[in-house]
Amino acid sequence: MNLQETLSIQVKQAVQSIFSISLDTIEFQATRKEFAGDITVVIFPMLRFIKGNPVQIGNDIGNYLVENVDEVKAFNVVKGFLNIEIEDAYYIHFFNDISTNDYYGFVSPKANDKGIMVEYSSPNTNKPLHLGHIRNNLLGYSVAEILKASGKKVYKTQIINDRGIHICKSMLAWKRFANGETPETTGLKGDKLVGNYYVKFDQEYKNEIKGLIAAGKTEEEAKKQAPILLEAQNMLLKWEAGDEETVALWKKMNHWVYNGFNVTYKNLGVDFDTLYYESNTYLLGKEFVAEGLKSGVFVKEADDSVWCDLTEDGLDKKIVQRADGTAVYMTQDIGTAIQRIKDFPDVGGMVYTVGNEQDYHFKVLFLILKKLGFDWAKNLYHLSYGMVDLPSGKMKSREGTVVDADDLIEEMASTAGEISEELGKLDGYSHDEKQELYKTIGLGALKYFILKVDPKKRILFDPKESIDFQGNTGPFIQYTYARIQSIIRKADFDCSKILTDISLHEKEKELLKQLELFPEVIQNAAETHSPALIANYTYDLVKEFNSFYQNVSILGADDLNDKIFRVQLSKKVALTIKNAFKLLGIEVPERM
């Protein structure tokens, strides 16, 4: 139980004892710097239940707390704010409880709790991963790690979109124009090679449209009648019919792409526990259309198409099966969700990491699954996020103007190297050590820049702005961690002594208050599915440490016990930074 929870109970008891009134909640806030105190109780909300002067009410509660609560040392009241001073012993006891816990703030899952499946990435196999995929992957991976740290059993998954007309476009362009080239013969990653042919298809398609328009067709007619598009559509029909040659080409090119994706995922530092493939799931869900018709959730129209009427729920009518009996994406998503619960019976909820352009789709999906009677549908969450823009403008895959994920990761390491060399902080490092450090800094900068922003907000990503050793950036936090490691290495005395009777400096107390917040921040981040809470907490912790570092002598303290405590405190701050960054998928260097 943290300080706020302890005091909440005590303040409620005080109000009950003094005023014979039961309060459900107590409002707290940080004490303003100009007043003495460690935590403040806001009296004004109590005036709805307690009649009287807020200053007198605050004084009455304060006197009760000083007399009855060991942790409370003193108080003062400013207007309607009760500022409470806490005994040093409380913070020292708290610190000694956490000082040996390497995973302070993390909670182990309970044996019988239901798990959560987090879906992210879910790329198409017709192009490499790009900057948009990076935000998706970083968000999904981080939310999965945060949920795990909050005490949930988590399964990370993706559904790979490996079928459809867009896949056939790459296949057809490769077949027509590649002259048999492969990743091995070109030296290209497989996803890049296939992506090049997706761009090539679009170029040829546009040329054919121009030719048809010149021959007298309207633009709409030309788009539909372009021979290369008709051939791609025919290739999709052949794939669905199981044509041996088409399926063999599809398998070969998809294999190239999977190998390429795996390299990118490894470089990005994300992973998955299980994979689903659209080629295996696109027929799922049709059996539940029949069940929905029986139960009245769905209705069949005169043309035999099947719909779900959601107008009473504030949405519209949604088709779940075409007139010819074929499934739509919604049907597939219904079936895939149900299949996942069959595959993992201990899963009781799912998080879908998908851009905000799909907000409506997921509202409909979740509502239909509820109407079909699946209890776990109430635990479905769409981790909706905004797009990533660049100073140069919007990305377009077909035109080959996307920011390739691999290129961006490489560029971040290169930029980190340039800035580090300018700052001249790497004397004594070997070439290989420098290159490894540049990767850690560059990738940390990228991840932190993206994750510190609320997922729902759109991001304008500027690589150079993200690699700054000052301000709310990944490198600034990494540098502080490395600075603490340097302090620890220089400590030439035994720091293992457990201290129980020391007087705290104001800056030590502020740092301890910040440390105490970490478990609550993890729980809040898990509930809101927001890595931004972890990122910005870590920045606040680092700012507090740097203020402590600048105002308090650590290794030069006169008293040995002060030195020991300050090194222990620095160690715990470093470990908390490391654990918080682990939840964001960011590594911390021992030296910088």
The rounded percent of the chain whose pLDDT value lies above 90 is: 85
Q: For residue range 149-181, what is the model confidence (pLDDT) as tens digits?
A: 999 999 999 999 999 999 999 999 999 999 999
Do 182 and 64 share a structural domain?
no
The answer to the question of residue 304 being in a domain is no
Do 431 and 541 share a structural domain?
yes
Which domain covers residue 76, as residue numbers? 3-86
| Number of compact structural domains in the chain | 3
| Mean pLDDT (whole number) for 290-306 | 95
Question: Dihedral (C-alpha) 577, 579, 582, 587: value to the nearest 10 degrees?
Answer: 50
Phi, psi of 300 (to 5 degrees): -100, 130
Distance CA 54, CA 42 (A): 10
Tell which of 234, 261, 288 closes a domain.
261
Edge-to-edge strand list for the sheet holding 39-42: 28-29, 39-42, 81-86, 72-78
| Mean pLDDT (whole number) for 550-559 | 95
Residue 418 has pLDDT above 90, yes or no: no
Cα–Cα–Cα angle for 209, 212, 218, rounded to 5 degrees: 90
Q: For residue range 271-286, what is the model confidence (pLDDT) as tens digits?
A: 999 999 999 988 888 8
Task: Give buried/exposed letters for 408-438 (b at 16+ CB in 10 A, else e).
Answer: bbebbbebbbebbeeeeebeeeeeeeeeebb
Q: For residue range 508-528, what is the model confidence (pLDDT) as tens digits?
A: 999 999 999 999 999 999 999
Q: Which amino acid is present at 75?
A: F
The mean pLDDT of the chain is: 93
User: Could you give the 3-state DSSP secondary structure of residue 420?
Assistant: helix
Q: Evaluate whether 387 touches 458 at the Cβ level (below 8 Å).
A: yes
Tell which of 261, 285, 311 closes a domain.
261
Residue 350 has pLDDT above 80, yes or no: yes
Do 82 and 195 share a structural domain?
no
- The confidence score (pLDDT) of residue 401 equals 55
If you ran DSSP here, which 8-state letter would residue 372 be given? T
| Mean pLDDT (whole number) for 258-269 | 96
The answer to the question of residue 290 being in a domain is no
Tell which of 68, 86, 104 closes a domain.
86
Q: 3-state SS of 158-192?
A: EEEECCCHHHHHHHHHHHHHCCCCCHHHHCCCHHH
**β pairing state of 380-385 and 347-355:** parallel
Residue ranges with strand state E in 313-446: 317-321, 347-355, 380-385, 388-389
Q: 3-state SS of 282-294?
A: CCCCHHHHHHHHH
- The confidence score (pLDDT) of residue 397 equals 42
Do 533 and 417 share a structural domain?
yes
Distance CA 133, CA 125 (A): 13
Confidence of residue 337 (pLDDT cuts 50, 70, 90): very high
Of the candidate ranges 192-196, 342-346, 441-445, 464-468, the one whose mean pLDDT is the lowest: 464-468
Q: For residue range 358-405, what is the model confidence (pLDDT) as tens digits?
A: 999 999 999 999 999 999 999 999 999 998 887 765 444 444 456 889
**Residue among 230, 251, 225 nearest 239 (CA):** 251
The answer to the question of residue 39 being in a domain is yes
Q: For residue range 210-243, what is the model confidence (pLDDT) as tens digits?
A: 999 999 999 999 999 999 999 999 999 999 999 9
Alpha-carbon separation of residue 249 from 168, 245, 246, 463, 556 (angstroms) = 10, 6, 5, 38, 69
DSSP string, 99-135: TT-TTTT--PPPTTPPEEEEE----BTTS--BHHHHH
- The confidence score (pLDDT) of residue 400 equals 47
CATH code, domain with 550: 1.10.730.10
CATH code, domain with 17: 3.30.1360.70
Q: Evaluate whether 193 touches 182 at the Cβ level (below 8 Å).
A: yes
